[in-house]
Amino acid sequence: MPKNRKRKILLTFYVCEEEKILIDKKVKISGKRNMSDYLRQAACYNKVTVYDFSVIKEMNKQINAIGVNVNQLVARVNSTDNVYRDDLNYIKEMIEKVWQLQKSILSNLP
């Protein structure tokens, strides 16, 4: 290693063939001298955004549970030819819950 080398720490990582092709294209487009310059700039100076999808996953679980319950209610209506007010109220409550979750998610987006 040359004594006057400014950067003395070597980093390595693995990519698949498609990723390598994509990186090569981006290096070429970027106008950087080489891949090291491009990757250094990308790693050190590009903004990384991390999203928390836990609220959306929870909402999806609740929507799925509502769907299961609605299917059960529809099956009962089909077999009895009766619609119960409590069932309709339950569906309205669950839909309102989903709307509230969606509003919460949207209000917390950057």
21 shares its domain with 63: no
76 shares its domain with 102: yes
64 shares its domain with 93: yes
30-55 pLDDT, tens digit each: 999 999 999 999 999 998 888 888 87
92 shares its domain with 59: yes
Q: Name the residue with tokens 């609220």.
A: 55
In a domain, 2, yes or no: no
Instruction: Note down pLDDT in tens along the chain; length 110 residues.
Output: 677 888 889 999 999 999 999 999 999 999 999 999 999 999 999 988 888 888 788 878 888 888 888 888 888 888 988 888 888 888 888 888 878 878 887 787 76
In a domain, 6, yes or no: no
Please tell me the predicted confidence (pLDDT) of residue 70.
82
100 shares its domain with 59: yes
Nearest to 90 by CA among 71, 63, 61, 66: 66
Please tell me the predicted confidence (pLDDT) of residue 93.
87
Residue 101 contacts residue 61 (beta carbons within 8 Å): no
In a domain, 8, yes or no: no
Helix then strand count (H, E) for the chain reads 4, 0
Q: Which residue segment(s) compose the domain that 70 sits in?
A: 54-107
62 shares its domain with 98: yes
Question: How many domains is the chain built from?
Answer: 2
DSSP SS3 for 38: helix
| C-alpha–C-alpha distance, residues 9 and 71, integer Å | 60
